[in-house]
A = this chain, B = another copy of it.
Amino acid sequence: MPRPTTAPIGVVLARTAKTAGRAFDQALAAAGGSQPVWQILISLKTTPVANQRELADAVGIQGATLTHHLNGMETAGLVTRRRDPANRRVHLVELTDDGEQLFHRLATAAIAHDQRMRRGLTDTEIAQLADLLHRLAANVTDD
Protein backbone atom coordinates (compact mmCIF):
# COMPACT_ATOMS: atom_id res chain seq x y z
CA MET A 1 0.00 0.00 0.00
CA PRO A 2 2.05 2.89 -1.30
CA ARG A 3 1.88 6.11 0.63
CA PRO A 4 0.33 8.91 -1.40
CA THR A 5 3.48 10.32 -2.99
CA THR A 6 3.56 13.91 -1.89
CA ALA A 7 6.17 15.62 -4.04
CA PRO A 8 9.31 16.22 -1.99
CA ILE A 9 8.70 19.48 -0.19
CA GLY A 10 12.34 20.44 -0.72
CA VAL A 11 11.78 20.30 -4.47
CA VAL A 12 8.62 22.40 -4.27
CA LEU A 13 10.37 24.88 -2.00
CA ALA A 14 13.44 25.14 -4.22
CA ARG A 15 11.36 25.57 -7.36
CA THR A 16 9.12 28.21 -5.80
CA ALA A 17 12.06 30.07 -4.34
CA LYS A 18 13.83 30.05 -7.72
CA THR A 19 10.79 31.43 -9.50
CA ALA A 20 9.99 33.98 -6.81
CA GLY A 21 13.64 34.91 -6.37
CA ARG A 22 14.07 35.64 -10.06
CA ALA A 23 10.96 37.78 -10.14
CA PHE A 24 12.24 39.61 -7.06
CA ASP A 25 15.66 40.06 -8.72
CA GLN A 26 13.98 41.75 -11.66
CA ALA A 27 11.88 43.98 -9.44
CA LEU A 28 14.93 45.07 -7.46
CA ALA A 29 17.06 45.52 -10.57
CA ALA A 30 14.40 47.75 -12.08
CA ALA A 31 14.69 49.89 -8.94
CA GLY A 32 18.49 49.93 -9.14
CA GLY A 33 19.32 47.23 -6.61
CA SER A 34 19.91 43.54 -6.01
CA GLN A 35 19.07 41.01 -3.35
CA PRO A 36 22.36 41.25 -1.41
CA VAL A 37 22.24 45.05 -1.47
CA TRP A 38 18.62 44.97 -0.33
CA GLN A 39 19.41 42.55 2.48
CA ILE A 40 22.29 44.71 3.64
CA LEU A 41 20.25 47.90 3.51
CA ILE A 42 17.31 46.40 5.37
CA SER A 43 19.65 45.00 8.03
CA LEU A 44 21.32 48.37 8.47
CA LYS A 45 17.96 50.07 8.82
CA THR A 46 16.17 47.60 11.06
CA THR A 47 18.74 45.57 13.01
CA PRO A 48 21.12 47.08 15.53
CA VAL A 49 24.49 45.55 14.65
CA ALA A 50 27.66 46.23 16.57
CA ASN A 51 30.08 45.37 13.77
CA GLN A 52 30.39 43.92 10.31
CA ARG A 53 30.56 40.37 11.57
CA GLU A 54 27.08 40.75 13.03
CA LEU A 55 25.89 42.42 9.85
CA ALA A 56 27.21 39.51 7.81
CA ASP A 57 25.42 37.08 10.11
CA ALA A 58 22.18 39.04 9.78
CA VAL A 59 22.45 38.84 6.00
CA GLY A 60 23.56 35.22 6.07
CA ILE A 61 26.94 35.61 4.34
CA GLN A 62 30.61 35.45 5.29
CA GLY A 63 32.54 38.51 6.39
CA ALA A 64 34.67 38.60 3.28
CA THR A 65 31.55 38.39 1.14
CA LEU A 66 30.07 41.32 3.02
CA THR A 67 33.26 43.32 2.44
CA HIS A 68 32.90 42.59 -1.25
CA HIS A 69 29.38 44.03 -1.31
CA LEU A 70 30.25 46.97 0.92
CA ASN A 71 33.10 47.87 -1.42
CA GLY A 72 30.62 48.10 -4.26
CA MET A 73 28.12 50.02 -2.18
CA GLU A 74 30.76 52.46 -1.00
CA THR A 75 31.96 53.01 -4.57
CA ALA A 76 28.34 53.62 -5.53
CA GLY A 77 28.05 56.18 -2.73
CA LEU A 78 25.45 54.25 -0.76
CA VAL A 79 27.38 53.77 2.47
CA THR A 80 30.40 55.15 4.28
CA ARG A 81 32.79 53.24 6.50
CA ARG A 82 34.76 54.86 9.29
CA ARG A 83 36.56 53.47 12.28
CA ASP A 84 34.85 53.46 15.63
CA PRO A 85 36.84 55.85 17.85
CA ALA A 86 35.99 53.66 20.85
CA ASN A 87 37.44 50.55 19.20
CA ARG A 88 39.35 51.30 16.08
CA ARG A 89 39.18 47.70 14.90
CA VAL A 90 35.49 48.20 14.28
CA HIS A 91 34.34 49.84 11.06
CA LEU A 92 31.07 51.69 11.43
CA VAL A 93 28.90 51.36 8.36
CA GLU A 94 26.47 54.21 7.75
CA LEU A 95 23.97 54.96 5.03
CA THR A 96 24.47 58.06 2.93
CA ASP A 97 21.55 60.11 1.65
CA ASP A 98 21.79 58.18 -1.60
CA GLY A 99 21.74 54.95 0.40
CA GLU A 100 18.62 56.10 2.21
CA GLN A 101 16.96 56.94 -1.08
CA LEU A 102 17.84 53.59 -2.59
CA PHE A 103 16.50 51.88 0.53
CA HIS A 104 13.15 53.58 0.04
CA ARG A 105 13.00 52.77 -3.65
CA LEU A 106 13.81 49.13 -2.98
CA ALA A 107 11.33 49.01 -0.10
CA THR A 108 8.64 50.25 -2.47
CA ALA A 109 9.60 47.64 -5.02
CA ALA A 110 9.69 44.91 -2.38
CA ILE A 111 6.26 45.85 -1.07
CA ALA A 112 4.81 45.82 -4.56
CA HIS A 113 6.42 42.45 -5.22
CA ASP A 114 5.02 41.08 -1.99
CA GLN A 115 1.53 42.30 -2.78
CA ARG A 116 1.77 40.69 -6.18
CA MET A 117 2.83 37.37 -4.65
CA ARG A 118 0.06 37.50 -2.08
CA ARG A 119 -2.74 37.91 -4.58
CA GLY A 120 -5.49 35.39 -3.91
CA LEU A 121 -4.12 34.44 -0.50
CA THR A 122 -5.75 35.55 2.71
CA ASP A 123 -3.80 37.06 5.60
CA THR A 124 -4.47 33.87 7.51
CA GLU A 125 -2.98 31.77 4.76
CA ILE A 126 0.09 34.00 4.59
CA ALA A 127 0.53 33.67 8.33
CA GLN A 128 0.20 29.89 8.03
CA LEU A 129 2.75 29.86 5.25
CA ALA A 130 5.22 31.94 7.23
CA ASP A 131 4.77 29.65 10.23
CA LEU A 132 5.31 26.52 8.17
CA LEU A 133 8.40 27.99 6.52
CA HIS A 134 9.83 28.95 9.89
CA ARG A 135 9.37 25.43 11.21
CA LEU A 136 10.92 23.96 8.07
CA ALA A 137 13.96 26.23 8.37
CA ALA A 138 14.34 25.38 12.05
CA ASN A 139 14.67 21.73 11.11
CA VAL A 140 17.73 22.33 8.96
CA THR A 141 19.39 24.88 11.20
CA ASP A 142 22.11 23.38 13.34
CA ASP A 143 21.83 25.01 16.73
- Chain A: residues with CB nearer than 8 A to chain B? 6-21, 23-24, 35, 42, 60, 110-111, 113-114, 116-121, 123, 125-130, 132-137, 139-141
Q: What is the interface of chain A mostly: helix, strand, loop, or mixed? A: helix
With a cutoff of 8 Å between Cβ atoms, the chain B residues found around residue A60 in the complex are 15, 18-19
A9 touches B134 (CB 8 A): no
Give Cα A24 to B12, complex, Å: 13
B141 touches A132 (CB 8 A): no
- Write the nearest CB–CB distance from A39 to chain B, whole angstroms: 8
B16 touches A133 (CB 8 A): yes
Contacts A116-B140, A117-B139, A120-B139: A130 and B6 contacting too (C-beta < 8 A)?
A: yes
Contacts A8-B110, A8-B111, A10-B117: A132 and B128 contacting too (C-beta < 8 A)?
A: yes
